[in-house]
Amino acid sequence: MKIVKGAVHIKLGKPLYGAEGLAAGALALGARAQVFVDEGKTAFSIEIHPVEALSSAERLALGGEFLNEVLNHEYRQRVVRANAPLTQAVFAPLFARGFPAVPADPLEELEPQVKADRAREVSDLLEQARSMT
Amino acid sequence: MAGSVVVLLAVADENAFLGAAYLLTRDAYVLVSRKGKTGRVELWPKTNMPAAALAAAFRREYANQLLRWGLARDGFALRAETLRRALALAEAAGGRTQAPQATLTPEQKAEIAALLAEAEADPGPRDPLGIAQPWEDSRKQR
């Protein structure tokens, strides 16, 4: 983190840092600064331009606040991912209850030929669509 | 703001590395990077905390986080299974909270009272040899 012509310049390496984290960092600064991001192959280059006139220490503090917020976001995402088995245990039964198996079409149940005709119709339409491309 | 301090260390666990860095954000502005197995942390003190103390705090937190993440990973499957079973039990109970164990239903209270009355009415086991009798009583009988 260094100050060049009044702006705070930071280089953040991938994959420790991601675009979502940078967005979270920029959001934390709000209207106090303009944040510019340039994405390279292995790193992001960030420029933070304070809106108001600030001292060097205040500019570094602004950049530091951005850094900490990005790190906070990245670490939080890691914790969420690591706890996926627990989240899954909670949500799987809820989703299972919320999305029961689709009931069978009564018409197809009564007359198997309807099901066969529909399947053939869908197949023909797909074939027609493929031949158009 | 004082100058920054850089800490380099071999990273065995990236989550522990980030966790330690995150914990330092209270006292410093933190920038992390990694090249191969080497992790690099640059810390800008927020307060008057000496740079050496910050570096030491980071190393200490990293060791701490290594242990915590190791333990957490070991127990994930067990905790997930416990949670799944607890939720299944709650589901079986209709999602309602169960009555506290200490509270007895009127039926249970009546059953206990009947059992106690029965026990009190029972004269107890027979003792033809007078084994349960106090020594003084048996002597008086002689």
Q: What per-residue confidence (pLDDT) applies to B99?
A: 60
Average pLDDT of the residues in A100-111: 80
Do A76 and A106 belong together in one domain?
no
Q: Give the residue numbers spanning the domain of A104.
A: 85-128
In angstroms and rounded to an integer, the radius of gyration of the C-alpha atoms of chain A is: 27
Give per-residue pLDDT as tens, A6-57.
999 999 999 999 999 999 999 999 999 999 999 999 999 999 999 999 999 9
Inform me whether the C-beta atom of residue B47 falls under 8 Å from chain A C-beta atoms: no
Do A96 and A53 belong together in one domain?
no
Which of A2, A43, A47 is CA-nearest to residue A19? A43
Has residue A133 been placed in a domain?
no
Do A12 and A65 belong together in one domain?
yes
- B29 to A67: CB separation less than 8 angstroms, yes or no: yes
Q: What per-residue confidence (pLDDT) applies to B91?
A: 79
Do A78 and A89 belong together in one domain?
no
In angstroms, the CA A76 to CA B22 distance is: 9
H/E stretch holding A44 reads strand A43-50
Inform me whether the C-beta atom of residue B25 falls under 8 Å from chain A C-beta atoms: yes
Average pLDDT of the residues in B85-104: 74
- B29 to A12: CB separation less than 8 angstroms, yes or no: no
Q: Does domain B5-89 have CATH number 1.20.120?
A: no
In angstroms, the CA B130 to CA B65 distance is: 70
- B33 to A71: CB separation less than 8 angstroms, yes or no: no
The SS3 of residue B50 is: coil
Distance (Å) from the alpha carbon of B90 to chain A's nearest alpha carbon? 12
Average pLDDT of the residues in A70-96: 89
- A68 to B30: CB separation less than 8 angstroms, yes or no: yes
Give per-residue pLDDT as tens, A108-117.
878 888 889 9
pTM of the shown model: 0.68
- B76 to A82: CB separation less than 8 angstroms, yes or no: yes
Whether A66 and A10 have beta carbons less than 8 Å apart is answered as yes
**Complex ipTM over 0.85:** no
Do A95 and A75 belong together in one domain?
no
Inform me whether the C-beta atom of residue B32 falls under 8 Å from chain A C-beta atoms: yes
Q: Is B1 exposed, middle or buried (0-12, 13-18, 19+ CB in 10 A)?
A: middle
Inform me whether the C-beta atom of residue A12 falls under 8 Å from chain B C-beta atoms: yes
* Torsion sign, CA atoms B58, B60, B64, B69: positive
Whether B54 and B28 have beta carbons less than 8 Å apart is answered as yes
Say how many domains are in chain A: 2
In angstroms, the CA B51 to CA B56 distance is: 9
Chain A to chain B, count of Cβ pairs less than 8 Å apart? Answer: 78
Count the Cβ atoms, other than its own, within 10 Å of residue B31. 26
- Which chain B residues are Cβ-neighbours of A10 within 8 angstroms? 31
Mutate to test the interface with B, among A22, A44, A48, A67 (most CBs of B within 10 A): A67
Domain boundaries, chain B: 5-89
Has residue A7 been placed in a domain?
yes
- Which chain A residues are Cβ-neighbours of B39 within 8 angstroms? none
Do A15 and A77 belong together in one domain?
yes
Percent of chain A with pLDDT over 90: 68
Give per-residue pLDDT as tens, B103-142.
778 888 899 899 999 888 887 777 777 777 777 777 776 5
Inform me whether the C-beta atom of residue A32 falls under 8 Å from chain B C-beta atoms: no
Give per-residue pLDDT as tens, B38-80.
999 999 999 888 989 999 999 999 999 999 999 988 888 888 8
Q: What per-residue confidence (pLDDT) applies to A92?
A: 83
Q: Does residue A85 carry a pLDDT above 70?
A: yes
Q: Does residue B9 carry a pLDDT above 80?
A: yes
